[in-house]
């Protein structure tokens, strides 16, 4: 069919238009691709990580502020009999909720493969929430300080704080006696943290006494407020209480571990014998693999025994790891009933190891400060430990206790790294 002049005119118009629009579409596609690539580039990732780090700093500030608020609420209740404004308690509850939610979200921002834009949005959201919570805390503290200045005698405040110090010293008793008991029976690694805590408790109590003496000297001056000195003394008392708890908890954990050792060894060996029974019902190749792992686990268990009496918490921790490896080696060969029976026998030792790991992480963060990542993992470890204690199913409890151990170990490692870096 011949091409008419009209058809030729249409083609003359259509072809250049198609080229123009096609080129424009191609340019748009290239631009979109370039933008997406830029948003996923190492530079975009680094920039988003900086925003996350800034949010982490704010989150640590909020966590510290919540601790300070706990201190002031306790001080208010002890000194003023609950008659102070309720704004402090309300601000504390709100700030605790924001802190816990933000730590959960902050932990999620570290998952692999997260898009930099999503990382940035999450970090900005955390930073905004923490800033708002810090603002509410500051306003509540100002209101509380004004109320105290108008309603409470400085002399009465100092006297009440001295009563707190005396009660603390009575509760602490003689830390040196606990350290002497531990050092006579166990390796230094078992009680080194307790010894540091004992020194910290004594030093903090002495510091609180010095601060209260200064406050007493100023209490008679109606133009001066002793609230700053009282708050500083309360911080020192809190440090002393925290260190005293570390000391008592360490002493309890070590002595309980020493008492539990024979039963933990017996339970682990019983589990190995049961595993040999399971092995006898497996196909030859699977039985051979399991047999090799059982021999290695038995050798590891035997190697723990010579020094177990001097290193009870470390040994309990290692036995818990042996039981974990045994469960992995058995895998699907375990029936549901066998898995339940194994979990029941492994749970006490694993819970003890998890408690010790969480206590060590708490001590490390208390003394080094630790960043947001360390604190987020500690919070996760504490939740997993609580879940393990409350779980009705032994298998679920054992899984939660093992997760608590891993999270606590990560938290302590991060806190130790932060301390060394400083």
Read off the pLDDT of residues 340-379 as tens digits, 9 standing for 90 and up.
888 888 999 999 999 999 988 988 887 777 788 999 999 9
Predicted model pTM: 0.72
Which of 241, 269, 300 is a domain's end point?
Answer: 241
* Domain end position, chosen among 151, 176, 201: 151
Indicate whether 50 belongs to any domain.
yes
SS3 369: coil
Cβ count near 68 (within 10 Å): 17
Q: What are 113-168's pLDDT values in tens digits?
A: 788 888 889 889 999 999 999 999 888 888 877 777 677 677 777 887 888 888 88
Give the separation between CA 197 and CA 364, rounded to whole angstroms.
11
Distance of CA 317 to the CA centre of its chain: 19
Q: What percent of the chain has pLDDT over 90?
A: 33
Domain identity same for 277 and 402: yes
Best CA proximity match to 98, nearest among 90, 382, 369, 418: 90
Claim to verify: residue 147 and residue 158 sit in the same structural domain: no
| Average per-residue pLDDT for the chain | 83
131 and 196, same structural domain? no
Residues 48 and 129 in one domain: yes
pLDDT at res. 29: 59
Q: According to the model, what pLDDT value does residue 82 have? A: 58
Judgement on whether residues 159 and 292 belong to the same structural domain of the protein: no
The contacts of residue 378 (CB under 8 Å, 6+ apart) are 358, 361, 362, 365, 370, 407, 408, 411
**Structural domain includes residue 259:** yes
Residue with tokens 């993992």: 377
Tens digits of per-residue pLDDT, 210-224?
988 888 887 777 666
Of 274, 264, 329, whose CA–CA distance to 296 is shortest? 329
Which of 112-126, 170-184, 292-306: highest mean pLDDT?
Answer: 292-306
Residues 349 and 293 in one domain: yes
Considering the domain architecture, whether residues 171 and 236 belong to the same structural domain is answered as yes
The four Cα atoms 281, 285, 288, 294 give a dihedral, to 10 degrees, of -70
Q: How far is CA 233 from CA 114, 147, 167, 240, in A?
A: 45, 20, 14, 10
Would you state the pLDDT for residue 231?
78
Kindly state whether residues 202 and 257 are assigned to the same domain. Answer: no
Specify whether 90 is located in the same domain as 126: yes
The contacts of residue 283 (CB under 8 Å, 6+ apart) are none
Quick one: which H or E segment has residue 362? helix 336-368
Give the domain-ending residue among 186, 217, 241.
Answer: 241
**Cβ(71)–Cβ(235) below 8 Å:** yes
On whether residue 352 sits in a domain, the answer given is: yes
> In this structure, is residue 10 part of a structural domain?
no
Identify the domain containing residue 194 by its residue range.
154-241
12: pLDDT strictly greater than 60: no
Q: Tell me whether residue 109 is in a domain.
A: yes
- The dihedral built from the CA positions of residue 263, 352, 400 and 320, taken in this order, carries a sign that is negative
- Per-residue model confidence (pLDDT) at position 38: 46
Question: Is 22 contained in some domain?
Answer: no
The more confidently predicted of residues 383 and 336 is 383
- Residues 109 and 191 placed together within one structural domain of the fold: no
**Are 419 and 361 contacting, i.e. CB atoms less than 8 angstroms apart?**
no
DSSP state of 332: G
Same domain, 273 and 414: yes
Percent of the chain residues past pLDDT 70, beyond the cut: 83
Token pair in block for residue 277: 């029974």
In this structure, the answer to whether residues 274 and 316 fall within a common structural domain is yes
- Cα–Cα distance for residue pair 176/202, rounded to 1 Å: 10
Query: In this structure, is residue 180 part of a structural domain?
Result: yes
Cα separation, 375 vs 369, whole angstroms = 9
Total domains, the chain? 3
């Amino acid at each position: 069919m011949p091409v008419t002049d009209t058809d030729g005119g249409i083609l003359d118009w259509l072809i250049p238009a198609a080229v123009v629009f096609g080129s424009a579409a191609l340019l748009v596609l290239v631009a979109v691709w370039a933008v997406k690539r830029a948003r996923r580039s190492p530079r975009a990732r680094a920039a988003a990580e900086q925003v996350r780090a800034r949010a982490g700093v704010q989150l640590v500030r909020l966590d510290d502020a919540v601790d300070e608020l706990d201190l002031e609420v306790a001080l208010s209740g002890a000194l003023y009999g609950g008659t102070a404004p309720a704004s402090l308690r309300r601000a504390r509850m709100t700030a605790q909720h924001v802190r816990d939610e933000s730590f959960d979200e902050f932990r999620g921002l570290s998952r692999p493969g997260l898009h930099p834009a999503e990382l940035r949005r999450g970090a900005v959201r955390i930073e905004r929430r923490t800033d708002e919570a810090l603002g509410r805390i500051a306003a509540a503290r100002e209101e509380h300080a004004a109320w105290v200045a108008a309603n409470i005698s400085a002399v009465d405040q100092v006297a009440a704080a001295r009563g707190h110090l005396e009660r603390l010293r009575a509760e602490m008793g003689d830390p040196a006696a606990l350290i002497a008991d531990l050092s006579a029976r166990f390796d230094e690694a078992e009680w080194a943290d307790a010894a540091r805590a004992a020194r910290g408790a004594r030093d903090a109590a002495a510091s609180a006494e010095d601060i209260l003496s200064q406050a007493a000297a100023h209490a008679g001056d109606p133009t001066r407020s002793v609230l700053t000195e009282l708050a500083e003394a309360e911080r020192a008392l809190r440090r002393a209480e925290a260190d005293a708890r570390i000391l008592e908890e360490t002493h309890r954990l070590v002595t309980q571990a020493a008492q539990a050792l024979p039963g933990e060894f017996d339970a682990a060996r019983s589990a190995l014998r049961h595993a040999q029974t399971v092995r006898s019902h497996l196909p030859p190749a699977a039985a051979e693999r399991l047999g090799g792992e059982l021999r290695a686990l038995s050798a590891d268990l035997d190697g723990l025994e010579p020094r177990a009496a001097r290193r009870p918490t470390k040994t309990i921790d290692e036995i818990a790891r042996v039981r974990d490896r045994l469960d992995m080696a058995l895998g699907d060969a375990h029936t549901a009933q066998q898995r339940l029976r194994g979990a029941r026998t492994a749970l006490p030792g694993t819970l003890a190891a998890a408690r010790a790991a969480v206590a060590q992480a708490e001590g490390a963060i208390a003394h080094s400060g630790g960043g947001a990542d360390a604190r987020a993992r500690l919070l996760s470890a504490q939740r997993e430990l609580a879940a393990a204690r409350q779980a009705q199913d032994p298998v679920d409890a054992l899984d939660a206790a093992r997760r608590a151990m891993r999270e606590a170990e990560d938290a302590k490692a991060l806190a130790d790294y932060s301390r060394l870096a400083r």
